[in-house]
Chain A
Amino acid sequence: MIEFRKVCKKYGTGTMALKNVSFNIQKGEFAFLVGSSGSGKSTLIKLILKEEEPTSGNIIINGKDTTFLKQGKVPYLRRSMGVVFQDFRLLPDKTVYENVAFAMYIVKATPKHIRRQVPMVLSLVGLSGKAKMYPSELSGGEQQRVALARALVNNPSMIIADEPTGNLDPDTAWDIMSLLNEINMRGTTVVVATHAKEIVDQMKKRVIHIDKGVIVKDDKKGGYNCEI
């Protein structure tokens, strides 16, 4: 589903963010991406989202080599992934419902489809009762649920979450993680970049540990700490 083949990324500043990174995340898998700040995690996410181009190597997503994807095709690649960020990135002047529906407008869904799909994902994330509220009226955890609903609404084949619990207290963080787990159970591939050591240790999922641009450990049922 997401495959990196000997990917290197060097920024214009000369920083070598990723060195010869190779891994393969299968369809339906749940994988954590861990590592300290500046380890190359964010670069990796950006490469998956095609926000950045690799300096060398190949990135294969959904069986397609996206390394030489034309700029005009990038939006269609992104429609196959739902993205969640640490800072939620909701539109403050739109209600919960509108924030989610917005993602469907963008991919030109029919009004009928939107009316059916939005309440469905809102109930999946447990926010059915708050559809008419604005982001400012919600707690951080609830806001992240809205973001997750927005990421899910177009039925992507994978969810990419960049530090989804970074701004949340531990209990709420757990809620979000179990929600991601539930989504994964339904067949969606989930990739989570995170610092949340405790959660990673307890969830016993695949952990890709990256340090200074190199994958130091790729553990099928691992924890955060690993002997190198």
Chain B
Amino acid sequence: MRFNVISYLFKEGIKNVFKNKKSTISSLMIMCATMLIFGLFFVIGENINAFVKEIADAQGIRVFLINSATDSEIEEVGKELLEIEGVRDVRYISKEEGLESMRETLGDEIIAGYTENNILPASYEVKLTDLELNEEVQKDILQIPNVEDIESSNPVIEQIIRLAKGVKIITAVILILLIVISIAIIANTIKLTVHARRKEISIMKYVGATNSFIRWPFLVEGVIIGVIAGLISVGIVGALYTYFYGKLSGTIFMDIANLKLIEFKDMFELILIVYLGLGAGIGAIGSAISMRKYLDV
């Protein structure tokens, strides 16, 4: 397509946006409102994810081997551990190393009696790619022969994982609601412009305009509304998040819980892409839906 045709189609689309100011503004407001609710859960989810990931990096599963395991059997267990899905890294801890690390945490006196007669089993420290796989990996590990027992992450982590899952589900549900509501709103707005310009559309058809040519300005209109809603929402989410970030970080509560919030600038790109993509996609689908009826002549 030639440049002048493209610029013509864009100009028409932009004109459409301003022609129906009332419905454009109301659909912008509704889209922003739904995008903000989505954004709230999105940033909470991002923070929990970051937190979970940090724990996952630190936390591992300790796999204790039976005392009678031979060197080759120990090696075999190590190989099998690496083959389990969700295992990122495996580190062997010999009896001596185990005792050494215990000395560091408990002190010389308590373990003094054990230095001669080391009853600590040899073990592996398993790190996971994803904490959510914790339970399944544990089950798999217990299947491996010569494994005596495992010591897993504490129950708090399980709860955090459950929380993260819950937030993810809520975010997904809200996202779907956002998409459905916004598509309906945009479709309605565009229907109004299509209706206002039906005379023009019929003339275009008689002069031999292709359907795609007729559709473009309305598509542009939908995408513009969606993108504007996305930009406004990014701005509001950014402002609110930065405000609460300033209020929360450094407080005693956050220190005790050992929580660190993500800075907004680290999420900015992701949020911008998600919002613009959502806005443009919703706008395009909404206008496509509202155009369908008008084009079969």
- Mark A residues whose CB is within 8 Å of B: 49, 51, 71-72, 75-79, 83, 89, 91, 102-103, 105-108, 110-111, 150, 154
| Contact sample, A vs B, 8 pairs, CB 8 Å cutoff | A76-B208, A79-B208, A89-B203, A102-B207, A105-B8, A106-B204, A107-B207, A108-B1
| Measured CA separation A108–B213 after assembly (Å) | 9
Specify which chain B residues have a CB less than 8 angstroms from the CB of A106 in the assembled complex.
Answer: 204, 207-209, 213
Specify which chain A residues have a CB less than 8 angstroms from the CB of B205 in the assembled complex.
Answer: 75, 78
- A108 contacts which of B5, B199, B202 (Cβ < 8 Å)? B5
Q: Which residues from 186 to 238 on chain B have a C-beta closer than 8 Å to any C-beta of chain A? A: 199-200, 202-211, 213
- Mark B residues whose CB is within 8 Å of A: 1-2, 4-5, 8, 199-200, 202-211, 213, 296-297
| Measured CA separation A150–B204 after assembly (Å) | 11
* SS of B interface (majority): helix
Specify which chain A residues have a CB less than 8 angstroms from the CB of B297 in the assembled complex.
Answer: 51
| Measured CA separation A103–B207 after assembly (Å) | 6
- A111 contacts which of B4, B206, B207, B213 (Cβ < 8 Å)? B4
* SS of A interface (majority): helix
Q: How far is the CB of B214 from chain A (nearest CB, A)?
A: 9
Specify which chain B residues have a CB less than 8 angstroms from the CB of A154 in the assembled complex.
Answer: 207-208
Specify which chain A residues have a CB less than 8 angstroms from the CB of B208 in the assembled complex.
Answer: 75-79, 106-107, 154
| Measured CA separation A103–B199 after assembly (Å) | 14
| Measured CA separation A111–B8 after assembly (Å) | 11
Specify which chain A residues have a CB less than 8 angstroms from the CB of B213 in the assembled complex.
Answer: 106, 108
| Measured CA separation A105–B216 after assembly (Å) | 13
Q: A78-B206, A154-B207 are in contact. Are A91 and B2 (CB under 8 A)?
A: no
Q: How far is the CB of A12 from chain B (nearest CB, A)?
A: 15
Residues A75 and B2 in contact, CB atoms below 8 Å apart: no
| Measured CA separation A102–B211 after assembly (Å) | 16
Residues B200 and A91 in contact, CB atoms below 8 Å apart: yes
Residues A91 and B203 in contact, CB atoms below 8 Å apart: yes
| Measured CA separation A77–B1 after assembly (Å) | 20
Specify which chain B residues have a CB less than 8 angstroms from the CB of A111 in the assembled complex.
Answer: 4
| Measured CA separation A103–B213 after assembly (Å) | 12
